[in-house]
Amino acid sequence: MPINFHNVENRFSYSNRQVDPEWIKNILAIANPQGKQVLDIGCGGGLYTRVWAQLGASNVLGIDFSEVMIQTARDLSANIPNISFSVGDATLTGLDDKLADIIFERALIHHVSDISSCLNEAFRLLKTGGIYIVQDRTPDDIVPPASEEHIRGYFFEKFPHLLEFEHKRRPHLNKVKEELIKSGFSDIRTFSFWETRKIYPSMADLTTDLRERKGRSILHEINDIQLENLITYISSSIRSKETIIEKDRWTIWTALKSP
């Protein structure tokens, strides 16, 4: 059963972890948020919304379609003055035109049935000269072999149907570039990188994380028995039982709204 982002049981699924310094390094190479208006669309529990604020944005507005996620984001960000949150659809936010200097969408477009509507909305919301940053995984990002770093690869070794599921929902690199051009964006650039997802002090910590399905929507596509079988498979495949550093490969698209 697909993850239910409206279920209160999933409210912390994408909220409580550390952001990889490599991600921050890559973002700052793309855009300088100092004094800028930032929109974080598909913000979930507001993890990256908070980081944008910490990086110096004058104001960050997080948007998500789930009231549960927005309330979680508000609770976790209560002491940060330059952050606000609102419930809204990524394809039709209801916000004013030319609102943001930077728009960020992480792990969103593979959940959107109509990517073009999502990109069109971002173009409308972006100020002239603003930058649009889209982060997601492409089919190429999910196929690296399983390893102690690429834990996700074991999901596909154990359950090949999950790989087929991923291929169907993940956006293709050139398809997104084409849609960005159609929406009016220019100077489109892409790059891929490995981002540390989480550091586990032990195999037991990794097992707990897997069992809770936190931040792993794909694990909601298997039942509890299958999940336990997967955990057993991963435990027997990984030799190191200490300090497991899990990484995911991501693609970032950047585009400008030119004058």
Q: Nearest-CA neighbor of 28 among 58, 52, 47?
A: 52
Sheet bearing 126-136, strands edge to edge:
83-87, 59-64, 37-41, 100-106, 126-136, 242-256, 186-202
* Two structure tokens written together for 236: 């027997």
Can you say whether residue 139 is alpha, beta or left, with left for phi > 0 and alpha for psi between -120 and 50 degrees? Answer: alpha
How far is residue 200's CA from residue 244's CA, in Å, rounded to a whole number? 5
Residues in the chain: 259
pTM of the predicted protein model: 0.91
**CATH class for the region spanning 8-256:** alpha beta
- CB contact at 8 A, 72 and 16: no
pLDDT by residue for the chain (259 residues), tens digit each? 443 334 444 344 444 578 999 999 999 999 999 999 999 999 999 999 999 999 999 999 999 999 999 999 999 999 999 999 999 999 999 999 999 999 999 999 999 989 999 999 999 999 999 999 999 999 999 999 999 999 999 999 999 999 999 999 999 999 999 999 999 999 999 999 999 999 999 999 999 999 999 888 899 999 999 999 999 999 999 987 789 999 999 999 999 999 8
Between strands 186-202 and 242-256, the pairing is antiparallel
